[in-house]
């Protein structure tokens, strides 16, 4: 299914035409940009439609953005059995982003303060509050990346992984991505 999706979206123009929007791109060569469809991502909270993933993954190259994969997601409270039904846990790595501090106020969307966000340095609720940020113990839900044309089809192993639950408790191929 993921290969068919990538064939449908050979470039970002088609993805954008179908409602996918870039999420948090840096402009750096080699970065992986998630183009997310809010509608498809929301629907994944009830049922994953492999033909319409919540996010398309594009890699930035010298030639532009090239499609490399898809991302499927599940609710934050999904059980291991529910995740295994989406993608086999013997192969796939599900991850989620924990201990997340985002900027607040009128400059939140354009904040260049490197302490905030995915690559930020604020990883405790107290530090986030002191910096004037908004604390999210878990940002989004469970996610898995699929790269159908690469040697490692199921992504996630290359991410900086920690425990699956905020402040401990995870096991197996359920992991939390912390900067």
Q: pLDDT (tens digit, 0 to 9) for every residue of the chain, 179 residues total?
A: 999 999 999 999 999 999 999 987 777 888 889 999 999 999 999 999 999 999 999 999 999 999 999 999 999 889 999 999 999 888 888 888 888 898 887 666 656 788 888 778 898 999 999 999 999 988 788 999 999 986 666 665 444 444 344 433 333 345 555 44
* Co-location of 93 and 172 in the same domain: yes
What is the pLDDT at residue 114? 83
Domain that holds residue 90: 84-140+162-179
* Co-location of 57 and 109 in the same domain: no
Does any domain span residue 63? yes
Bridge partner residues of 56 (DSSP): 35, 70
CA–CA separation, 59 vs 52, rounded Å?
19
CA–CA separation, 169 vs 179, rounded Å?
18
What is the pLDDT at residue 126? 96
Does any domain span residue 146? no
Strand (E) or helix (H) holding 128: helix 125-130
- Total-model pTM: 0.78
Tally of structural domains, the chain:
2
What is the pLDDT at residue 164? 44
């Amino acid at each position: 299914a993921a290969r068919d999706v990538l064939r449908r979206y050979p470039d970002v123009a088609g993805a954008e035409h179908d409602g996918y929007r870039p999420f948090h791109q840096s402009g750096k060569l080699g970065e992986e940009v998630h183009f997310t469809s809010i509608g498809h991502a929301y629907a994944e909270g009830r049922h994953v439609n492999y033909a319409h993933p919540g996010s398309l993954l594009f890699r930035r190259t010298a030639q532009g953005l090239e499609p490399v994969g898809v991302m499927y997601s599940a609710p934050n409270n999904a059980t291991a059995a529910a995740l295994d039904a989406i993608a086999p846990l013997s192969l796939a790595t599900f991850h989620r982003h924990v201990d997340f501090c985002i900027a607040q106020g009128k400059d939140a969307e354009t904040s260049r303060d490197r302490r905030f966000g995915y690559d930020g340095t604020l990883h405790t609720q107290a530090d986030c509050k002191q910096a004037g940020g908004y604390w999210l113990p878990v940002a989004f839900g469970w996610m898995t990346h699929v790269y159908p044309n690469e040697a490692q089809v199921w992504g996630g192993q290359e991410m900086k992984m920690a425990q699956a639950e905020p402040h401990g408790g995870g096991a197996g191929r359920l992991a939390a991505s912390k900067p």
